[in-house]
Amino acid sequence: MGSGQTLVTDLLSKLSVNFKIRDLGEPSFFLGIKIVKCDNGILLSQLGYMNDILKRAGMAECKLLSTPLSVSKTFSADLYDDPTQYMSLDGALQYLTITRPNLSFAVNQLCQHMHAPAISH
């Protein structure tokens, strides 16, 4: 991707001197991110990845909220049964913030409880 086709072609020819490369065309899906070309740029979407996270967490049927984190609820001390699953889901949510930076604060709050995750987290 570049500002001009000649620049892209020149770069590819220079890279091919030292590396075995091939042109796969325009990307449509890369590392779980769907790439859609629009009139005014590109759209990056992780909708499928987000749905997979919800299924793994058993929350695919939950209702929507206007904010990703309750500002008034306090967390309970009942420990989460499987801390490994919690850590895995938390890591998946961190990757989701690539296209959803509005979730960063809530995911950061979850990361702060990695040492002893509770059910309410």
Q: pLDDT tens digits for 68-88? A: 566 666 656 666 677 788 788
What is the separation of C-alpha 4 from the centre of its chain, rounded to a whole number of angstroms? 30
Structure pTM? 0.65
Q: What is the pLDDT of residues 14-72, one digit of tens each?
A: 999 999 988 787 888 888 889 998 899 888 888 888 899 989 988 888 887 776 566 66
Pairing of strands 29-30, 33-38: antiparallel
CA separation for the pair 2, 82 (Å, rounded): 46
